[in-house]
Amino acid sequence: MPECPELHLAGRYINEACGGVVFSGGVERSAVGRGPEVPFRSEAYRISAASRGKELRLTLAPLGPGAPQDLVFLFGMSGSFRLCPAAQLPRHAHLRFLTRESPPRALCFVDVRRFGSWRLGDAWQPGRGPCVLTEYQAFR
């Protein structure tokens, strides 16, 4: 099961790989994904990530009018994120964010075992303590 360091690295990967990338459209969900539909659509938005313990939060921030949308992910046993060509999606890409460039790429939440999930909103799980990586003094 992905632990705190793996989620921290996943957040760094997303921020580095998607830092200057503009995404567009809605969020695509596979029929077998274990999370809700994401009611977000924008002509241009950016994605950033933050982690805390065993959770990772994505923020979808529109570049024009509109409110940001936050999603909090639990990776389960095999969840991860991958930025790949949209024409070559991984088999178990349960949530997809498409770039505006041509040819488009997709940031995908990939979860082979389907134990991972996501929920709408920016709140960490109730009772989630301080993060050992970013809030070490409070963690002690």
d(CA 131, CA 39): 29
Question: And the tokens for 127?
Answer: 């009772």
Q: CB-side exposure of 92: number of CA atoms within 13 Å?
A: 13
By annotation, the residues acting in catalysis are 2-3, 54
- DSSP annotation string for 83-138: EEEGGG--TTEEEEEEESSSS-EEEEEEESSS--EEEESSPPPTT----TTT-HHH
- Rounded CA-CA distance 54/77 in Å is 11
